[in-house]
Each structure stands twice: as C-alpha cells, then as structure tokens.
Structure 1
Amino acid sequence: MNLLRALVTVSGMTLLSRILGFVRDAVIAHIFGAGMANDAFVVAFRLPNLLRRLFAEGAFSQAFVPILAEYKNRLGPQEARRLVDHVATLLFLILLGITLLGMLLTPWLIHLTAPGFAADAEKFALTVELTRITFPYILFMSLVALAAGVLNTWSRFALPAFTPVLLNLSFIFMALLAAPYFDPPIMALAWAVVLGGILQLAIQLPALARIGMLPRFSFSLNDPGVNRILKLMAPAILGVSVAQISLLINTVFASFLPVGSVSWLYYADRLMEFPAGLLGAALGTILLPSLAKCHADDRPEEFSVLLDWGLRLTLLLTLPAALAMALLGVPLIATLFQHGAFAAGDVLQTRSALLAYCLGLASLILVKVLAPGFYARQNIRTPVKIAVLSLAVTQLLNLVFIFGLGLNHAGLALSISLASALNAGLLYRGLRSAGSYRPQAGWAAFFGKLLLALVVMGAVLWFGVGDEKAWLQMNMQSKIPWLAGLCLGGAASYFGTLALLGFRLGDFRKRSTN
C-alpha cells in the first residue's frame, strides 16, 4: 500500500468535507450570527460531540484498531469477524444507555458545562432543548466510528473520510430550507445533527457487507479480544477525555465572558480544524493500522521509519499552514463569515482567537502523529499521563491569561496551543526514550530548507494582504478573488522555493505492506 497515495485520498475527502464545512459555517453565521441562539447551539452540540469523541472515535479507535489489526493479521478473517460482532453489540448497548441517560439529565449537564447560561432563563432553556435533540448523535457516530475502524484496517480509507460530508450537507440543507419552519429557527440545526448521524451510518453499511464485516448482534463478555479492548479503553477514555475536558472547561470559562465569546472561539476553531483534519486526522488514520501491523510483525525499523515519514510530512505542511492562517486571519474570516448577522467586530474578535490557535497548530497535529506510536504498541498509559499533565497546564494558563492578563477568549485559545506544544514534546521524548523512534538522517538540512521557504512565503503574504481594515469594508466580489490570489501566491512561493532547494514529491513516497 502506498501511504502517500492513501494520505492524498483521505486528505482529498477531508478537503471536500472541510470546504463544505466552511460553507456550512458561512450559512450559519449569515443566518444566526454570533448571538444568544448560536451560543446555545454551540454548547448543545459540543456535549454530545464531546461524548462521541470520548467513547467512539477517540478512545474506542485507539483501543479497537490495534487489536483488530492483530486479529486480522495473525488469526484470520473469521476470528476478526467474530470480534467485530461482539464489539459492535456491546458498543451499541452501552451507548444506547448513555444516550438515554444524557437526555434525561440534560438540565444538570448544562449547569455543569455552561453554568454562566443559568443567569439567562431563556438561553438556558433553549440550550437544554437543543441538547436533548442532538444527544442521539453519540449513538449513531459511535457505530460510524466502529465501521470506520474496520474499513481502515482493511485499507478502505476513502469512504470513512467522506462520511463527514453528509453531516455538512445536512446542516446546509436544514439551515437554508428548513429553518423558517422551526420555532425558534435554531432548532433546525439540532435536527440537522440527528439527520447527519443517520446518513453517515447508512452509507458505511454496504461497504462493510462487501468485505464480509457487517456486524451481527452477538453479545459476549467472555471474548478475550473484547476484554483486551475494554482494558485498553479505560486509560484511552481518560486520555481522550483530557483533551475534551480541556475544551469543556474552556466553554465554562467562555460562558462567563462577553456574549459572543463561545461563537468567536467556535469559528476560530473551525478554521483550525481545516488543516488539522486535512493532515492530522488523515495521517493518524493511515498510520495507526500500518504501525500496528509493524508492531504485530515485529518490525521495529519499519515502525521507526513510518514515524519519521509522518513527522517530516507534518512539519512540511503544517508550518506554512499556521503562518498563512496567522497572516491571512482577517481576510479569511471576513471573506467566509462577514455577512448577515456576523459583523466587523466579530471578525476581529475571531481573529484574535485564531492567532492564538495558530501558535499551536503544528503541535496539535504532531500529537496526532506521535500518539499512534504508543497506541499501535498497545501502550495507552504513557500518552494518558502526558495528556493529564497537559490538562493541568492548560487550566493554569487559563487562569493566568484570563484573570491575570485579561486576554479573555483569546487566552483560552492560547492556553490550548501552549499545552499542546508540551504534549507533543513529551510524546516525542517518550518515543525516543523507549527506542521506538530513531530520527533518520538529514533533519538539519530539512529544517533549514523549510525555514527559508517559510520566510519567502511570509514576505509574499505580508505585502499581499495590505491594509486589514480594507477587508472589513470590501464587498464579496472583491474579497474572493483577492483571497484566492493570496492563497495561490503563498502556496506557489512556498512550494516553489522548496523545489528550487531540491525537494521532490518522490522523496515522500512511502510504502507499507498491507
């Protein structure tokens, strides 16, 4: 299997999803702005989304994929099928219970996750109602995560990467066409979440059937594979929950800040998710099964080479993305979101959070590359300990930045960026200390060439942006071609400089046995 080709495939699907995600956010910003209703929806969607990442895509995938890869490679497809049946049944029953309990306890959960909303009875009641509608999303997406884990283990990366497109289409359809029929209109977004979850699950079932892995109901707590997954999930849930708890605590802080703070952070985070998903999630998706196979086959050299490839590719693509987003913050936000109820002041407030996030973009994605180096070896405790330390640092920085320096919502973003740098650094040191990763030759020259290309690109963008205030007053017909020209010019200057310095696409081709 050509990993670079797989990465391009997954990133291409993710790119489509991210583009539609921007369309989705632009539509939502136009219709709902950054006011009370949108703040309520952001909090309502964040809670089931948090639990989805906690129980499904995060902890579950980290524990499930390495064990499934071991079954597939060592025991054969029949034993792998039996494991999938047992895991799917248990996952469904657990998440069904969590979903029903969450819908029942929603008012208490909102008091916990957004206590500042309690001061406004209308805002609190709306948030509770929206959360109850969106809560079943965790059940659908847990099953989607299982299907994606199976398909990725069988090197079917494209379809799982495509499925988020359906959620974005659901949002766009409901916001544009269905919102006027709801009272209040924001309810349409909550039902869009449910519709998106159903569609994402439905599209993956035929693909599972084609590889003979469509789950059947088969309950068993005595399956040794299931027990191993549960044992790995315990620390994995803690590890994933650390990142999600950090976001949740940030929401608690933001709920006490000026109206719009939750939305400003949300829109900045959405921009950050573009490169993070395009590369970070894609690399993590294709690396984990490949690393798990190297570990199962006892090939430590190939394991180290795969990690080195992932690290170089991450820096090659994330450093220019972070620099470009920092320099193009106002043009990007003004072009994508400044229309309708989203005002010029919202652009500037969102930009301040985006700048803070940009400082940690490379670290956030490096974590997604380094952590699979532990998960593939079924060592989840080490990254969990590091994540817990990062959580503590994040909250200490929150106190300093908000109450000490008065940075408000931008301080929340900055604390996440700095803590992610600590997280990535400790993961790297852990892999080096364990002997799992040994850097390949040529890193010094690699860094030097990257730095020169970044300087050239930065200069092109700096002079190309011009007066940022002009972007706040410019019409859309002027913004779009100017922004497109800046993006193309920045990319051409960066990759053109690298080409002159001797970089070639073939240098990053990497094959892994399937």
Structure 2
Amino acid sequence: MRLLRSTAIVGVLTMASRVLGLVREMLLAASLGAGVITDVFLTAFQFPNLFRRIFAEGAFNSAFIPLYAGKLESGEQDEAIRFARQVMSVLLTSMLVLVIAAQFLMPWLMYALGPGFVGEPGPFRLAVLLTQITMPYLMMMSLSAMLSGVLNSHGRFAVAAAAPVLLNLILIGILLFSPANGEQLALHLSIGISLSGVAQLVWLFAACRATGLRLSVSMPRMTPGVRRLITLGIPGAIAAGVTQINILVTSSIATIEEGAKSWLYFADRLYQLPLGVVGIAMGVVLLPALSARVRAGETQAASNAMNRALEISMALTLPAATALATIPVFIATGLYERNAFTSQDAVMVSQALVPFAIGLPAFVLIKVLSPGFFAREDTMTPMKFAAIGVAVNLALGLGLFFGPLGFAGLAIATAVAGWVNMSLLAITLSRRGLFEPDIRLLGKLPRIVLACAAMAAFLLVAEHYADALRIYLFDSTLLTLLVVCCGGLGVYGIAALVTGALRPSEVRGALKRS
C-alpha cells in the first residue's frame, strides 16, 4: 500500500474544497461581518452541516465500508450492490422523515441550537426560517455519504472527494453576484446550501453509474445487513463526529453573546483546512486499507499502516498548528479584515484560534486512530470515548464561558476534549495489542517538532517586519500573509530535511503506485 499517494489524491481535492471554503468565508465576513445576522445564518448552516461532516467525512463510512468491502473481497459483488440498494432505501426513508419532522419542530429545536436568540423575536424567527430552508441539505448529504462510501470501496477516491467543491462554488457565486445584503443575502445563501446538496447528490449518483454500479431505490426493508449497519453506524457516527458535536455544543452556547458564534466559526474554518486535508483524507484512505488487512489476519501490516499514517499526518499537521498558534492575529487580519469585518473582530477570532490550533493535532489523530476500531467493526468503544469528550467539553466550556475567559473558554474546552478523546483511543488500542508505536515513528516525531520550532522562529521575525514587507506587496495584508506563510513552509521543509524528519527517498517511495 502506498498510503501517502492515496491520501494525496483525496487531500489535494479536499484542499481545493477547503481553499474555496476559505474564499467563501472571506467573502461572507466581508459581506455580513460578525454580528447577529451572521450568527443566525451560521446557526442555520451549522446544524445540517454537522450531519454533512459526520456522514460525508468518514463516520457513516466507518460502518458501511467494512460491511460493503467485505462482500466485495468475498467475490460477492452482486450481493454488495444489493446491500447498497437496501441501505439507500432505508436511509432515504429515515432522512425524509427526519427532515419533515424538523420542519415542524424547528421553533422548539431552536431553543437548543440558538438559546441566545430566545427572547429576540426578529433573530429567532429568522433563525427558524433559515434552518428550515437548509434542512433538506441533511438528507442530500446522508445519501451522498453512502454513494461516496461505495465509490471509495471501489478505489474511486477522487470523485467522492471532489463533490464538496460544488457547495463552495454555489455559495461563492451568490456572495459575488447577489445584489442582496443583510437578511436577504442570508436567505439567498440558505437556499444555495440546499441547492448544492442536490448538485452533489446528482454528481455522485452519475459517478456510480459511470463506474457500472447500478444503484436504485426500492421499498425499505430491515434486512440483517441493514440492521447490522445501524448497530455499527449510530455509535460510529457519534464517535467519528465528536469534534463536530463539540463544535455544535460550544456554538450553541456562544449565541448567548452577540458575535461570539461568528468569531468561533471563522476561527474554526481556519483549522478545518489542515484537518480536512490531512486528518479526514487520511481517515478516508486508511479505513478500507485497514479493513482489508484485518480481514486477511495481517495484524503487523495493519499496525504498520497505522504508524505510517500517524507519521505522515503529524508531519503535515504540526506545522499548520504551529503557524496558527504563532501568528493568529496576523492570520485573522490578513484573511478576514475588510469591509464589514473589523480589526476588533480579527482580534477576537485570534483568541479562539490559538486553543483550536493546540487542539488540531488531537483532532487529526482522532481521525487516524478511530479506523483502528472501525476496521474491526467496533464502533461502541470510540462512541464511549466520544461521549466522555462531549461531557468534558460541555462542563469545561460552561465553566470557562461564564467565568473570566468568555467565548475563548469554549475553544479551550473543545481543544481539551479533543486531547482527552485522542488519549483514550490511543491507550485502548495499545492495551489491546492493536497498535504499538514503532522505532521509526518515535524517532520522527521529535525531529518534526524541532523543524516546527525553526518555522515558528521564522514566523515571529517575519510578522515583526510584515509592515515593511507590505509596502513592496501592493500594500496588501493578504498577499503579505501568503508570502510569510510560504516562507515559513520553506523553512519547515528545509529544517525537516536537515533533521531527518522527512527524507526525499521516503516521500518518493510513498508516492509511487503499488
């Protein structure tokens, strides 16, 4: 297995989606700023988007892929397609019922999703309306996740990874060309979210047909295979989506303070870029590979795959986390500060960005370690640890939010919960003899940290001279930020080669086809 090459395919396409997503957030910040309308729109977007991340970014596939791939590996392709059809029928029916129920229950659900809007008739009504409009996106993403799982099992990673690009293209188009502003712009964006769900579903369905996979919907039936999927899928969804559940919890609390939800969201989007490119891409590729090795009884090969996944993910994640924690105000200012988004908003975003950056390695490691359980059809253990993480996040978040730290305490709580969850996963895998860090991994990690320290020193110096540099870059803070970050990346690369954290021969070998 050439893990880095497969991860690179997913990572590049995920990077394209996340970069477009960052452009989307920059336009959103410039158009709406960080105020009550943005808080309301983000509430409407975040609830169905939570399910997109839980389903489409690995949680649904953590249960579906081992079952579907097991049938393929046994030579039962017709049975595998029949199983996929049964799952699609049950999934469509259940999600349709959930979406319809949510339309009627939304005024009451909003008490949990946006408690800060209660007692504010205007924002409350707008939040209910916009969330009702975006709810069909949940159903579309659930079905899209299943189709992505089918394509991933057949080695078609690129097609599935490209689908989220459609969401960003549609919303960017609205932000660029819609003449509306304020509440009307938020309304147009909410409609665009649901339309993008339809576009992604059509894209993936067409890809399945082009691959020769004839999927269709029939009368839903609770077959043994579907019941097994539900048994594995529900705890798996909770476990794999714990980071997003924690974000939803903290964001709901944040609606109590005007603008806090927006500040947390814009900080969240910055660390989601490396999380998506590294952690999610690695998890998507690692799960099918681990499932195949576990079924073949190749315990050592499975452990080796986990070690290489950890090594690669930390080599890519730690420099990103270092940059976010070292120059947070510079990053938030360069990316967001324009038009309706003020310099004070950028400072507030940076206060949440630092703890999120500290938690980033843990968030990525959760994505890498969880497949070690999912490949063995154990979704209950990660779910229990996820529940512990949510409890830590809620208790600590409430204590810090209503204490001296305010909204930044919510970000701190999310980071702490991530490290708690990650530690429990790692310790349990080790105790069960399913994973043991090898000599190569233990030797690489200190070198990666040393290379990151060199990069951090460069970034601090570069930030100090940023104003002087900006004069030569068309007085653009964004362009200055890009130049500084590229310089930091270059310093990290050189330091990684000098320390031996990365070796050209290893990278070339990992990128070759099997």
Q: Where does 1:258-407 land on structure 2 (aligned, <5 Å)?
A: 259-404=258-403, 406-407=404-405
The residue that corresponds to 2:216 in the other structure is: 216
2:148 pairs with 1:151: no
2:266 pairs with 1:255: no
The residue that corresponds to 2:137 in the other structure is: 137
- Secondary structure of 1:437's counterpart equals coil
Cα displacement (A) at 1:512 = 11
How many pairs align? 512
Cα displacement (A) at 1:185 = 2.3
The residue that corresponds to 2:122 in the other structure is: 122
Q: Answer yes or no: is the 8 Å Cα contact 1:272–1:358 preserved in 2.
A: yes
* Aligned equivalents of 2:466, 2:511: Cα separation in 1: 45
The residue that corresponds to 1:62 in the other structure is: 62
Q: Answer yes or no: is the 8 Å Cα contact 1:402–1:412 preserved in 2.
A: yes
Cα distance, 1:8–1:43 mapped onto 2, change above 3 Å: same
Cα displacement (A) at 1:252 = 2.8
C-alpha distance after superposition, 1:192-211 (max 9, x if no partner): 10121111111112220122
* Aligned equivalents of 1:505, 1:225: Cα separation in 2: 45
Q: Answer yes or no: is the 8 Å Cα contact 2:322–2:456 preserved in 1.
A: yes
Cα distance, 1:470–1:133 mapped onto 2, change above 3 Å: farther
Cα displacement (A) at 1:513 = 11
Moved segments of 4+, more than 6 Å:
467-476, 511-514
* Aligned equivalents of 2:347, 2:195: Cα separation in 1: 33
The residue that corresponds to 2:74 in the other structure is: 74
C-alpha distance after superposition, 1:296-328 (max 9, x if no partner): 222111110110011111111111110111123
The residue that corresponds to 2:478 in the other structure is: 480
* Aligned equivalents of 1:346, 1:466: Cα separation in 2: 21
Structure 2: which amino acid aligns with 1:497?
Answer: A
* Aligned equivalents of 2:474, 2:86: Cα separation in 1: 53
Cα distance, 1:485–1:183 mapped onto 2, change above 3 Å: closer
Q: Answer yes or no: is the 8 Å Cα contact 2:68–2:153 preserved in 1.
A: yes
Structure 1: which amino acid aligns with 2:377?
Answer: Q
Of residues 304-313 and 218-227 in structure 1, the stretch that sits farther from structure 2 once superposed is: 218-227
The residue that corresponds to 2:408 in the other structure is: 410
- What stretches of structure 2 of length at least 5 have no aligned partner? none
* Aligned equivalents of 1:94, 1:472: Cα separation in 2: 54
C-alpha distance after superposition, 1:220-270 (max 9, x if no partner): 53533222111112322443565444333212321112x110000000000
Cα displacement (A) at 1:481 = 3.2
User: Which of 446, 454, 457 is the matching residue for 2:455?
Assistant: 457
- What stretches of structure 1 of length at least 5 have no aligned partner? none
Structure 2: which amino acid aligns with 1:420?
Answer: G
User: Which of 482, 496, 499 is the matching residue for 1:498?
Assistant: 496
Q: Answer yes or no: is the 8 Å Cα contact 2:271–2:360 preserved in 1.
A: yes
Of residues 442-451 and 29-38 in structure 1, the stretch that sits farther from structure 2 once superposed is: 442-451
Cα displacement (A) at 1:486 = 1.0
* Aligned equivalents of 1:388, 1:251: Cα separation in 2: 18
C-alpha distance after superposition, 1:142-191 (max 9, x if no partner): 11101111111111111111111110011011122235299622111101
Of residues 174-183 and 429-438 in structure 1, the stretch that sits farther from structure 2 once superposed is: 174-183
* Aligned equivalents of 1:511, 1:109: Cα separation in 2: 47
Cα distance, 1:4–1:249 mapped onto 2, change above 3 Å: closer
The residue that corresponds to 1:419 in the other structure is: 417
Structure 1: which amino acid aligns with 2:333?
Answer: A
Instruction: Calculate percent identity across the aligned residue pairs.
Output: 35
* Aligned equivalents of 1:241, 1:355: Cα separation in 2: 22
Cα distance, 1:168–1:123 mapped onto 2, change above 3 Å: same
Structure 2: which amino acid aligns with 1:369?
Answer: V
Q: Answer yes or no: is the 8 Å Cα contact 1:330–1:471 preserved in 2.
A: no
* Aligned equivalents of 1:183, 1:34: Cα separation in 2: 13
Structure 1: which amino acid aligns with 2:33?
Answer: G
Cα displacement (A) at 1:80 = 0.9
The residue that corresponds to 1:96 in the other structure is: 96
Q: Answer yes or no: is the 8 Å Cα contact 2:398–2:410 preserved in 1.
A: no
2:121 pairs with 1:86: no
Q: Answer yes or no: is the 8 Å Cα contact 2:58–2:280 preserved in 1.
A: no
Cα distance, 1:345–1:174 mapped onto 2, change above 3 Å: same
The residue that corresponds to 1:440 in the other structure is: 438
Cα displacement (A) at 1:114 = 1.1
Structure 2: which amino acid aligns with 1:351?
Answer: S
- Secondary structure of 2:180's counterpart equals helix
* Aligned equivalents of 2:59, 2:251: Cα separation in 1: 22
* TM-score normalised over the length of structure 1: 0.94
Cα distance, 1:434–1:479 mapped onto 2, change above 3 Å: same
* TM-score normalised over the length of structure 2: 0.94
C-alpha distance after superposition, 1:382-410 (max 9, x if no partner): 11111111111112211332233x21111
- Secondary structure of 1:359's counterpart equals helix
The residue that corresponds to 2:8 in the other structure is: 8
Q: Answer yes or no: is the 8 Å Cα contact 1:141–1:201 preserved in 2.
A: yes
Q: Answer yes or no: is the 8 Å Cα contact 1:175–1:188 preserved in 2.
A: no
Structure 2: which amino acid aligns with 1:97?
Answer: V
Of residues 222-231 and 485-494 in structure 1, the stretch that sits farther from structure 2 once superposed is: 222-231
Of residues 292-301 and 51-60 in structure 1, the stretch that sits farther from structure 2 once superposed is: 51-60
